[in-house]
Structure 1
Amino acid sequence: MLCSRLRPFVRSMSTTALPASSIPLLTTVPAVRQWREAARKENKSVGFVPTMGALHDGHMSLVRRSLAENDLTILSIFVNPAQFAPHEDLATAFLCIRRSLATQEIRTASAVFLPSVKDMYPSGFNQDPAAQKGTFIEVKGYGEQMEGKSRPTFFRGVATAVIKLFNAIEPTNAYFGQKDIQQCFIVKRLCGDLLLSHPDPEHIHIVPTARDPFDNLALSSRNAYLSAEGRKLAPTLYRALKVAEQAWNDGFQKVACVERATDLVREVAGTSDEAQIRLDYIEFNDSDSLEPLESTQCREPGSQPVLLSGAMWVGSTRLIDNIVLEMIL
């Protein structure tokens, strides 16, 4: 149910070239700010779920959490070009947006924010970081590990886009999936370092990864790119992480835990000719500094939570997953 102050604005909003939707589609920054101001005047809390399109049940778990904890929930759909290196498939990501809008089944959220690249990057955007002009944000010392080793410009793009979305929407609470755990911790750090109040770090919520109920594959838009054979092999990454977790809980040193997980991936890779799988990394990182643990480090009762994460290629599709050890999210 829309609050009374929002109805006149919704009627006047232009949705040219967008599919029919019972949810307000806000396509400009002024529009979303007007929507937010109306909610503020009615003292409504606002939950925010940022997405890059290709909506799936993992996103829905974030939406459900927001709906349970806020008066209003807004989603954003924005394929952020600053998160994509020149070799990554940006065109495919934009195609995912069109598909998700065309088949949108979310009928309980209060609004969807669909900003353009021009809105989000008023100074213009060049996909080559060396040629970019304008304001970009880096969270120094936290974006170079884990995913940052394989995608060196990724978290610079994440931090820049997230702060822009937060400034436009000023949510009471924001919701991110644990599957992208490094992103979650970086966003928390970002909000604290920049003294944000909407949201502050305590109102960044990490929602446990949504998984396939049959084989525990982490739900992701990238799963749609897997071949039939690749889909069968994709759960190998999570199985490998579980092997590493068990070894960690049994008191083995980090290097031995990683070796056991790597051996599992290597063994599975040797059984398939149709869909090649290749491990990118499996790593244990400190949840505060995000620095890798020492190779000889092992479990210490009551110690700082540890991030056990990994990435694996299945054919041309790169999958990520993680387990947070000794931590309740």
Structure 2
Amino acid sequence: MSGLRLIRTRRDLRAEIGAWKAAGLTVGVVPTMGALHEGHLSLVERARAETDRVIVTLFVNPRQFNSAADLAAYPRTEGEDFERLVPAGAHILYVPDPEEVYPPGFATTISVGGVTQGLCGAFRPGHFDGVATVVAKLLLQSQADRAYFGEKDYQQLLTVQRLVADLDLPTRIVPCPTLRDSDGLAMSSRNRRLSPQERDLAGALPRALFDAAGRIGAGEATSPVLASAREALLAAGFSRVEYLELRNAADLAPVETLEGGPARLLVAAFMGEVRLIDNVPVTMA
């Protein structure tokens, strides 16, 4: 019999967590929107190693989507996700209905400044307000000691870290490395929406990103390197490059050189109708 419990209400979740806390157990949470892949499971594995009990949340958050079509197209695979989590050793899969997260009369939005400016924040107005609001809710509902987020969504990671620091939330945010397929493409639930041909072409994204990061790290001027990388992505079959920028790794301020410390190269580009994001660290060679 599986040790994984499916819970859908705050009341049942709090009852279970209350018993854990009374027994002195630590709690880790892995927030997801489902369509789980090996990247998610690596977060569960990390949480299992560092906490006594692990909650995985599955909630397709309508407040962080800018497009109704994008929300409708987002893959929903609850049954498959549950089966994947059983051998991973998670203890609870929390799948709340929207009314459990945003009950009638809900009127609060959390807005984080600074790190949300530009990049995805510029192209998805209100997205990070939706992320910050739902993450705050899930951290409070789970009473987690630690929460695990992948570095693939780097701007989201820094937003959550800022949120927790500014609001004195007692959860420690644990960044986890990006997992990649054999061709380098970052694992993402959105990859499921790529056709076989698009999936083959999408491997150009990490190749261009790592190549540009290496050239900048070796001392080449940033602007022509980024222009060349954009051209390479379009030539490889991407329909549009939304952004490709070098940013300070700590606060996401735009930078042109590596003199100010560690940097991150971040990209968002469309393969057909699917928007893919990725990022890699940039360091001096």
User: 1:281 aligns to what SS in structure 2?
Assistant: strand
Unpaired runs of 5+ residues, structure 1, are: 1-19, 125-132, 270-275
The alignment's TM-score, normalised by the length of structure 2, stands at 0.93
Q: Which has the larger radius of gyration?
A: 1
Maintained 8 Å contact 1:144/1:152:
no
Maintained 8 Å contact 1:258/1:282:
yes
- Superposed CA deviations along residues 158-194 of structure 1, whole A, max 9, x for unmatched, are 0000000011111111100111010001100000000
Q: Give the Cα–Cα distance (whole angstroms) in 1 for the partners of residues 242 and 56 of structure 2.
A: 31
User: 2:153 aligns to what SS in structure 1?
Assistant: helix
Say if 2:272 is the partner of 1:322.
Answer: no
What is the match of residue 171 of structure 1? 144
- Give the 3 Å change call, closer, same or farther, for CA 145–88 of structure 1 in structure 2: farther
* 1:154 partner letter: H
- How does 1:118-157 map onto structure 2 within 5 Å? 118-124=99-105, 134-157=107-130
Q: Which of 28, 52, 58 is matched with 2:33 structurally?
A: 52
Say if 2:197 is the partner of 1:229.
Answer: yes
Q: Give the Cα–Cα distance (whole angstroms) in 1 for the partners of residues 251 and 149 of structure 2.
A: 19
Say if 2:86 is the partner of 1:106.
Answer: yes
The answer to which structure, 1 or 2, has the higher relative contact order (CA under 8 A, 6+ apart) is 2
- How does 1:8-157 map onto structure 2 within 5 Å? 22-93=3-74, 95-98=75-78, 100-101=80-81, 103-107=83-87, 108-124=89-105, 134-157=107-130
- Give the 3 Å change call, closer, same or farther, for CA 28–140 of structure 1 in structure 2: same
RMSD (Å) for aligned C-alpha atoms? 1.9
The alpha-carbon deviation at position 325 of structure 1 amounts to 2.6
Maintained 8 Å contact 2:212/2:229:
yes
What is the match of residue 257 of structure 2? 298
The alpha-carbon deviation at position 22 of structure 1 amounts to 4.4
Seq. identity, %: 38
User: 2:165 aligns to what SS in structure 1?
Assistant: helix
Aligned residues: 283
- Give the 3 Å change call, closer, same or farther, for CA 209–260 of structure 1 in structure 2: same
- Give the 3 Å change call, closer, same or farther, for CA 137–51 of structure 1 in structure 2: same
Say if 2:226 is the partner of 1:246.
Answer: no
The alignment's TM-score, normalised by the length of structure 1, stands at 0.81
Maintained 8 Å contact 1:175/1:205:
yes
